[in-house]
Amino acid sequence: MMNLSIGLMSGTSMDGVDAALLSLSDDESSIIDLGHVSLDYAFESKLLFKAAEYSFKQAEGSIERASINFQQDLKTYLNDLTLCAAKSTKELLAFLNINKPFISLEDVIQHSTNLHIQCVQLLLAQTNYSRDQIAVIGYHGQTVYHKPEQRMSITLASPQYMADQLNIDVVHDFRREDVLAGGQGAPFAPLYHFALAKRDHKFPIGIINCGGIANVTIIPDNNLTHVHAFDTGPGNGLIDLLVRRHTHGKESMDRNGIYGSVGIVHDDVLQALHNTAVIKNGQNYLKASPPKSLDIADMQLIPEVLALNLNDACATLEAFTAMTIVDGLQLLPPEVTIPNHWVVCGGGWKNPVIKRAFDAELSKLLGKNIILQTADDIGWNSVAMEAQIFAYLAIESLRGKPLSLPNTTGVPRPMTGGTHYKKSFT
């Protein structure tokens, strides 16, 4: 039997939301890509979501405190012109079409949910499938706080509202059971990577997803328990933050590596980044053994990189991303053989400076016989990949199958997860 599932994902860069439609057979021998759409966020939407992220950071994950303080946190965030172009609360109220004097955290959650619903509707219209043909939606939500050491991973989402509006069952809160059991709650891509590799008989293989944060999956053979995965460090998260600061929010990324490609890598700043840019729980994350996970708030732009001009800062940060990925591979247990075949996916690889630097660093480690391909090169859909992951995990959640493993998130045993929100009408 084939199951149709929609996956939704908005990453830590907060550029927009992706929706993907998958057909998945019961035995998982057939996984078919049926379509994908992206919905770019308006500048105002991104400001609101970043302000919510800031508010949860200030509240140390307390939803109650973030809700109470959000109005003031929003004003504080909007007044920081190093982070964003100036926008007033009044302008944002008009954007949201809210007829009241303030914006609440609930308003932002509702806005995020509405954009995800709109993306589902676009996908259904484009693929010519009807709602009653869809078994489930895997709705990740917009991550605003991820602290597994506090047993917390918080997303902006209203899943029951989505189920009611679309009349499709929704699975949400994928990471909750993992972090409550002591796992890192990330990365959650490895089991889908394994399913694709098994379907296509591609072993051994390594997959690197580069979004705001970069993560790696090592798949040595067709035994799921042999899969290893972890977050290596920054993807394009620090680069995006740097560009936003330098342009006062007018630009949000080093698009196509335009700045970094003409910049110079500063080795002294690169070393400083290795020493102080990624600190988690008071320790240098880059030296910690996997499995491990990272939150965007664990990374910072250090003074040394902020002192550089934009071109040199981008070039140095792009080299840093590539180096931390390859350095991370050397932290794997000695029994794990690093494969020569590598597949890259995620928005970070659209930056050719990162890709060239990674190729050079990986060649230093493994020699010249590496095979480096994009997901598209091997018949996978790199643009749709992250959304497809949650389409797949939603079906696995309904089946009660594992979503994470000891070697992927550090959870003590294979864990299922996700909360099922049923549609109102059958």
pLDDT, tens only, 248-275: 877 889 999 999 999 999 999 999 999 9
Minimal CA–CA distance to 216: which of 112, 92, 342?
A: 342
Is there a contact between 209 and 384 (Cβ–Cβ < 8 Å)? no
Is there a contact between 345 and 209 (Cβ–Cβ < 8 Å)? yes
Question: Helices marked H in 128-230 — which ranges?
Answer: 159-166, 176-180, 190-200
Rounded Cα–Cα distance for residues 34 and 387 (Å): 12
pLDDT in tens, 98-150: 989 999 999 999 999 999 999 999 999 999 999 999 999 999 999 999 999 99
Rounded Cα–Cα distance for residues 197 and 223 (Å): 11
Q: How far is CA 70 from CA 54, 152, 338, in A?
A: 9, 19, 46
Rounded Cα–Cα distance for residues 73 and 237 (Å): 22
Rounded Cα–Cα distance for residues 181 and 411 (Å): 6
pLDDT in tens, 32-91: 999 999 999 998 999 999 999 999 999 999 999 999 999 999 999 888 755 545 578 888
Q: Which string of DSSP letters, residue by residue, matches 143-165?
A: EEEEEGGGTEEEEE--HHHHHHH
Indicate the pLDDT class of residue 11, thresholds 50, 70 and 90. Answer: confident
pLDDT given at position 28: 87
The count of residues in the chain is: 426
pLDDT given at position 86: 57
For residue 204, cis peptide bond before it (omega within 30 degrees of 0) = yes
pLDDT given at position 15: 85
The strand pairing partners of 87, in sequence order, are none
Q: Is the pLDDT of residue 296 over 90?
A: no
The sign of the torsion formed by the CA atoms of 331, 335, 340, 344 equals: negative
pLDDT given at position 248: 80
Minimal CA–CA distance to 349: which of 304, 394, 318?
A: 318
Question: Helices marked H in 277-413 — which ranges?
Answer: 303-306, 310-329, 352-366, 385-398, 406-409
Q: What is the mean pLDDT of residues 185-206?
A: 95
| Residue labelled with tokens 């379907």 | 199
Rounded Cα–Cα distance for residues 109 and 51 (Å): 12
Q: How far is CA 225 from the centre of its chain?
A: 23
Q: What is the mean pLDDT of residues 163-173?
A: 97
pLDDT given at position 78: 85
pLDDT given at position 369: 86
Rounded Cα–Cα distance for residues 413 and 204 (Å): 24
- Residue 105 identity: L
- Residue 370 identity: I
Rounded Cα–Cα distance for residues 418 and 420 (Å): 7
162 is written with which tokens?
């989505």
pLDDT given at position 207: 97
Rounded Cα–Cα distance for residues 338 and 64 (Å): 45
Question: Helices marked H in 255-351 — which ranges?
Answer: 267-276, 303-306, 310-329
What domains, with CATH codes, occur in the chain?
1-182+416-426 (3.30.420.40), 190-378 (3.30.420.40)
Taking the CA atoms of residue 150, residue 404, residue 139 and residue 68 in that order, the dihedral angle to the nearest 10 degrees is: 0
Residue 386 half-sphere exposure, CB side, CA atoms within 13 Å? 27
pLDDT given at position 426: 58
pLDDT given at position 214: 94
* Bridge-based pairing state of the strands 205-210 and 228-234: unpaired
pLDDT given at position 355: 94
Is there a contact between 358 and 381 (Cβ–Cβ < 8 Å)? no
For the chain, give the mean pLDDT: 94
Buried b (16+ CB within 10 A) or exposed e, 384-423: bbbbbbbbbbbbbbbeeebbbbebbbbbeeebbbbeebeb
Is 190 buried (19+), middle (13-18) or exposed (0-12) by CB count in 10 A? buried
Highest mean pLDDT among 308-322, 348-362, 366-380: 308-322
pLDDT given at position 54: 94
Q: Is 280 helix (H, G, I), strand (E, B) or coil?
A: strand
Cα distance from N-terminal residue to C-terminal residue, the chain: 20
